[in-house]
Amino acid sequence: MCGITGWISYDNDLTTQRPTLDAMTGTMACRGPDAGGVWLDTHAGFGHRRLAVIDIEGGKQPMTVERDGRTQIVTTYSGEVYNYRELRAELERLGHTFRTSSDTEVVLHAYLQWGDAFAERLNGMYAFALWDPRTEELLLVRDRMGIKPLYYHPTPDGVLFGSEPKAILAHPSVRPVVDAEGLAELITFTKTPGHAVYKGMHEVRPGHLVRVNRGGLTVKRYWALEAREHTDDLDTTVARIRELLDDIVARQLIADVPLCTLLSGGLDSSAITALSAKALAAQGAGPVRSFAVDFTGYTENFTPDDLRGTPDGPYAHALAEHVGSEHRDIVLDTAALMDPGHRAAVIAARDLPNGFGDGDTSLYLLFKAVREQSTVALSGESADEIFGGYRWFHDPAAVGADTFPWVAAGLASTFTGGHATREGLLDTGLLGKLDLPGYEARRYREALTEVPYLDSDAGHQRRMREVSYLHLTRFVQILLDRKDRASMAVGLEVRVPFCDHRLVEYVFNTPWSMKTFDGREKSLLRAATRDVLPDLVADRVKSPYPATQDPRYNEALRAGLREVAADRDAPVRPLLDGAALTEATADGAADDIRPGAELVLGMNTWLRTTGTTLEL
């Protein structure tokens, strides 16, 4: 995994702009701590920071293909193509020769052989840029599910791009500005495809190509979810899912660096860990290493609530013992979660205020600890969106609501452990201007217009196809972006096997009645992997990512709000409701302040450290 950036300018000679490219590339050092490089031509400049995973010596970038002393194509590339060995063999049969063992070089030759159609042949997680000096055209490409981020900012004579907004913001012509729509996107849990929050900036949509030439910029979709008839019976469906998972996990275990799994003790991560252990054992390469996050005293003092009925620890340990993994718990305390340096690091990594509060900070600290022992980690992320794991999939009120189901179910409380709203401390006049319910409604209507249907879809099946589509194109983006930023901030590559497009396409078209055939969540995944799991884990009820239950954490949040209230120069102050802030910081006030406090404190740090201007 790596960090990429670049600048295309048809009116300037970029060979004189090395300092600017160096500055843009430098912002990506966290994503690529192993090496860096810059490539400059008259109208194109590419920067690259490398996290070496495959072909340590030969995979340096930016990478070019030369012919007769002339550059045919150049790339700055981030990600992994898991079928690169098959593609390489096919390209060699077609006459291509290779000088490295990297998947990056395979991508270059695939483009030279098949043109734009090459993207349809790639299986993996990737975001990259290709510059063709022969036509002076740039191609930006992002993987089907949007696992890897890629942003761009059109300019009067070209474009700027980068893995993260900070790379683009390092260019002297770009200022960090957020308008009312951007702020609404930031506050709500919508994650509109293509929206980058910052004014003038865009995100390459998953499964899309962006082409830039002297004539301007065009966008092309190369993949989308399609509605197809599912003709397999239940037993065949379960067997096919297992077949896919075995193949996917085996492919994603390929690395030339230490590798591990992230294990929570839930069905998703346990399945990935167990299948990894099985595959490694077959290769004679085991045991698998696994890591879990925990909080000081969490298991011993755990209090069940409406969201989390059990702590993760005992289940993670049961799975680790069952498969014989080398397991380690990463135990965090409240002081680490509230450390200003850690919270600021998370905001710097995301370029935006925290989305999930202590959940973001704990994820960052988990990855930081994992990175000390591994460079690559396999995660169970996205299984809930694919197989229908969240509780709101099974809540008639949330499913039937005329909005995103996770909004109807109260996402903020689900992931932060509180019950208040994120916007509870914001000024009522500001909220009226932003019209967050109206913004969510517009984005919801836009999403529904994209949903593919079969003629046979009706009633509950039709609605559940919509719900699945919303999760696979909107909600999953929130979590994939969160995981990418937290992991790459410490130079850890996280792979997400459940996002393999073959599995996503197959399960998306499986009828909802089959996805819940045993009356539970994620029925198909449980059936497909039960043989490698202990019953304790296979039968566990879904529990969201853990949030600390330490009461000192809420007190620390309240102390942070008091500091904001006392600081007349706090940049977030003009956005707040004074009465609500006074109530939240008063002695004896209700403890239920997490969602709002996390947003306010995050925004204050973000505005202060980035110099972002709000144009409202």
Q: Which residues are catalytic?
A: 2
3-class SS letters over 27-69: CCCCCCECEEEEEECCCEEEEEEECCCCCCCCCCCCEEEEECC
**Residue 485 CB neighbour total at 10 angstroms:** 25
C-alpha 455/C-alpha 256 separation (Å) is 48
Strands 44-50 and 35-40: antiparallel
Count of helices and strands (H, E) across the chain:
26, 19
C-alpha 303/C-alpha 551 separation (Å) is 12
Direct distance between the N- and C-terminal alpha carbons of the chain, in angstroms, rounded to an integer = 37
Cβ-Cβ contacts under 8 Å for 522 (sequence gap 6 or more):
267, 268, 383, 384, 387, 388, 389, 515, 542
User: How many alpha carbons lie under 13 Å from residue 30 in its C-beta half-sphere?
Assistant: 20
Rg from Cα positions in the chain: 24
Where do runs of H (alpha helix) occur along 43-146?
A: 84-93, 103-114
Token pair, residue 295, equals 């909080």
Q: Which residues of 543-569 are buried (b: 16+ CB within 10 A; e: fewer)?
A: bbbbbbbbeebbebbbebbeebbeeee
What are the two backbone dihedrals, phi and then psi, of residue 429, each rounded to the nearest 5 degrees? Answer: -65, -40
Residue 141 DSSP SS3: strand
C-alpha 193/C-alpha 529 separation (Å) is 32
C-alpha 552/C-alpha 337 separation (Å) is 11
Cβ-Cβ contacts under 8 Å for 569 (sequence gap 6 or more):
none
Q: At what angle do helices 267-283 and 234-252 cross, to 10 degrees?
A: 60
Contact 81, 501 (CB under 8 A): no
CA 495 to chain centre: 10
Cβ-Cβ contacts under 8 Å for 82 (sequence gap 6 or more):
123, 124, 248, 251, 252, 254, 500
C-alpha 336/C-alpha 68 separation (Å) is 57
Distances (CA, A) of 207 to 127, 252, 426: 10, 20, 36
C-alpha 209/C-alpha 222 separation (Å) is 7
**Alpha-carbon torsion (6, 7, 10, 13), positive or negative:** negative
Where do runs of H (alpha helix) occur along 567-593?
A: 578-585
